[in-house]
Amino acid sequence: MHNATAAAEHGGRRRAAVLGSPIAHSLSPVLHRAAYEELGLTGWTYDRFEVDEAALPGFLGGLGSEWAGLSLTMPLKRAVIPLLDEVSETAASVEAVNTVVFEADGRRVGDNTDIPGIVGALREHGIEQVDSAAILGAGATASSALAALARICTGEVVVYVRNEARAAEMRQWGERLDIEVRTADWADATRALHAPLVIATTPAGATDALSGAVPERPATLFDVLYHPWPTDLAARWSAYGGAVVSGLDLLVHQAVLQVEQMTGRVPGPLGAMRRAGEKALADR
């Protein structure tokens, strides 16, 4: 409860924020502010700042003791690591930090809540374990997806990628995370749709061409996008009766873990945060 002590020192005033570039469309302020409201943390504020790799050391160096923590998005998740005093095993496993908590003694501790966020979002939809899975794409989210699957998948993960360099990278992540990874060409991506769990980590529009190949009885699709929603693939998947986990599910689950770490209040208000996120997306 170090942050409760710190809050008392600052007359209840505490600060947190999300950093990244670009940052204007981040939903993090909506989610975190909803949590503070629900928890009655009236002195807490949560902002967003446009910060790139070059500006990050200076930004961190200028923060006062009223700061509780930071959420980090692209391109800062790796750049922040050398600037921290400690990095959790989870974050180190994928060389990506999305959460920084400032301890009472000033130490900066980095963690990754995307990985348990993926696991939590799947669990909420009744998926505790799968015997195999497929990942579409090999971008930044794919390594976090792989790390999450290392916790819940008992067999092989097939990753569908567009080029051999990315394929080699994903196989290396598999070795590091101790999970069986096979890579396949993006041209064969329709095969992925028959897996018990499909995680789409691609940018908007990338999976649209696959939607016509959704099987008659699809299993579970986890699509990390949330705006615009649903994607063509998610819409078709739902229409065929498959379970769909959305990017908003991931966003809310990773954010609630951040709120818990920064405020020391457990459990965080998942429901209130999701409602705030849904409303913000509807308003867009």
Partner residues linked to 183 by β-bridges: 159
Instruction: State how far the Cα of 22 lies from the Cα of 4, in Å rounded to an integer.
Output: 32
Measured from the Cβ of residue 227, the count of other Cβ atoms closer than 10 Å reads 13
Cβ atoms of residues 102 and 108 within 8 Å: yes
Cβ atoms of residues 21 and 50 within 8 Å: yes
Instruction: State how far the Cα of 123 lies from the Cα of 165, in Å rounded to an integer.
Output: 32
Cβ atoms of residues 44 and 85 within 8 Å: no
Instruction: State how far the Cα of 268 lies from the Cα of 247, in Å rounded to an integer.
Output: 19
Annotated active-site positions, please? 77
